[in-house]
Structure 1
Amino acid sequence: MNSVEITYKHNLPLDPHDVIRVFRSSGITRPVDDPPRIARMFAAPTLTISAWHETRLVGLSRSLTDYAYCCYLSDLAVDKEYQGLGIGKALIERTRNAVGDEVSVVLLSAPGAMSYYPSLSFSSADNAFLIKRKR
């Protein structure tokens, strides 16, 4: 699957079951056994960008942002079948273009993706703090 036509859509409402399928396939850890929670996660995001191969959702990014200073990229997932085609990079580029140059993009990386983000111009931050979710 070296050359497939991928289209990207900005703030298109996503079916929670499509989101769960991409999350499961991508390897990202999210509450995929709780469709109502997934629906709430995508009910009012500030910025959602989706990647489509024909009518199939194959990738997505979800960010919370004020469009002025900070953007938290909370989800970046690409279906395993479509990984390695530059879709994740394109989703990040589209996120950065949507929020503009005055906005910092911040994310928490999954352990398996720690080497991926520096290749996309992200730098490690030593001044971050976290209170982990209970479930």
Structure 2
Amino acid sequence: MDITYQAEENLQAEEFKALLIKSTLGERRPIDDIERIEKMCRNAGLIVTARADGQLVGVARSVTDWVYCTYLSDLAVDEAFQHRGIGKKLIAETKRLTPQATLILLAAPAAVGYYPKIGMTNHEHCYLLRDVNDLK
């Protein structure tokens, strides 16, 4: 089965939501809020997809300025298509389309061991702020 990779500007929220669920990334994404999912698709700077016979089987959704940094926010591959190099190819395509930018991502707990295996470097200085009221 041939997998095609391409940048897509109009990924539909329902299709993205279905893939999030099939990839288990849906456990950590707002899949019950379709308006938020729609905005995630519409406001991403770059979405690279993997399709098998037209079926969405992988997505790399990024926020980018194209020249300095690309934050790969969502890397999702349908569980039925995992272990075929699709995630690695989605990362490579994202980097190819933003060659000057450093690609940054936060690993899902189950994927922490994956990224070093494909050549990505761990960076220990990452900080999160989920609520402005948490600032001291």
Name the TM-score, length of structure 2 as normaliser.
0.90
**Residue equivalent to 1:121:** 119
- CA shift for structure 1 position 44: 2.4
Deviations 1:65-121 (CA, angstroms, capped at 9, x unpaired): 111111100010001111111110100000010100x32111111110000011122
- Which amino acid in the other structure matches residue 111 of structure 2? A
Q: Percent identity?
A: 37
Over 2 Å off, 4+ runs:
none
Q: Distance in 2 between matches of 1:133 and 1:35?
A: 22
Instruction: Give structure 1 stretches of 5+ with no counterpart.
Output: none
- CA shift for structure 1 position 133: 5.9
Corresponding pairs, count = 130
Partner of 1:19, secondary structure, is helix
Structure with higher helix content? 2
Partner of 1:105, secondary structure, is strand
- CA shift for structure 1 position 128: 1.5
- Which amino acid in the other structure matches residue 3 of structure 2? I
**Is 2:87 the counterpart of 1:88?**
yes
**Residue equivalent to 1:33:** 32
Is the 1:50–1:60 Cα contact (8 Å) retained in structure 2? Answer: yes
CA RMSD of aligned residues (A): 1.4
- CA shift for structure 1 position 55: 1.8
Name the TM-score, length of structure 1 as normaliser.
0.91
**Residue equivalent to 2:51:** 52
Written as runs of structure 1 = structure 2, the 5 A alignment for 1:66-77 is 66-77=65-76
Is the 1:12–1:50 Cα contact (8 Å) retained in structure 2? Answer: no
Instruction: Give structure 2 stretches of 5+ with no counterpart.
Output: none
